[in-house]
Amino acid sequence: MVRTPRNWCPGATYHVTARGNRKQELFHDDNDRKKYLTYVQKTKDKYPFTIHAYCLMSNHIHLLIETHDVPLEKIIRTLHTRYAVYFNKKYDYVGHVFQGRYGSNKIDTPSYFIRASRYIHHNPVEAKLTVQHGAYPWSSYPFYIHSIDNPLLSKERTLNYFPAPQVTLYKEYVEKEEEKKESVKNPIKK
């Protein structure tokens, strides 16, 4: 069956999610997570794009990605094919690593962009993997709050939505207690 092509235009931003096949783990150890991020960089080198936020959970990933001149579909296919080959070879597995097609929601407003960023960075706390947002090492969030450079990450757009002191206000926004859940379209169900 032929898949319906995804809508894409240069410069569009998306919240991308992908889950392990049958909800299984995508990462068995820290070396797997490091390898995934290495493949993000290699894919970015080949097909330039901008990452505004990311989070690697045990069985799924989140990327806040802005495309440039290459369709998102080609970027994610390249990234996930590389990782799947590595993962299957390392663990002597066969078959699919990722469950179906990746999910992508187009970010169409500044408020949606910043809510998606918060959602991605809040994910490890929500999943009870950590109690402190900045303590989870497989998220882009520590690079924001500790003002550390990361070649994968562009923080400028996110922080520009906040007045000075930008990092402090972004941290407060991400870590504040929610009175009601902010709606972010997310195809990953825990």
What are the structural domains of the chain? 13-175 (3.30.70.1290)
3-state secondary structure the chain: CCCCCCCCCCCCEEEEEEEEHHHCCCCCCHHHHHHHHHHHHHHHHHCCEEEEEEEECCCEEEEEEEECCCCHHHHHHHHHHHHHHHHHHHHCCCCCCECCCCEEEEECCHHHHHHHHHHHHHHHHHCCCCCCHHHCCCECHHHHHCCCCCCCECCHHHHCCCCCCHHHHHHHHHHCCCCCCCCCCCCCCC
Q: Per-residue pLDDT for the chain (190 aa), expressed as one digit of tens each?
A: 566 666 778 899 999 999 999 889 999 999 999 999 999 999 999 999 999 999 999 999 999 999 999 999 999 999 999 999 999 999 999 999 999 889 999 999 999 999 999 999 999 999 999 989 899 999 999 999 999 999 999 999 999 999 999 999 999 999 986 544 554 544 333 3
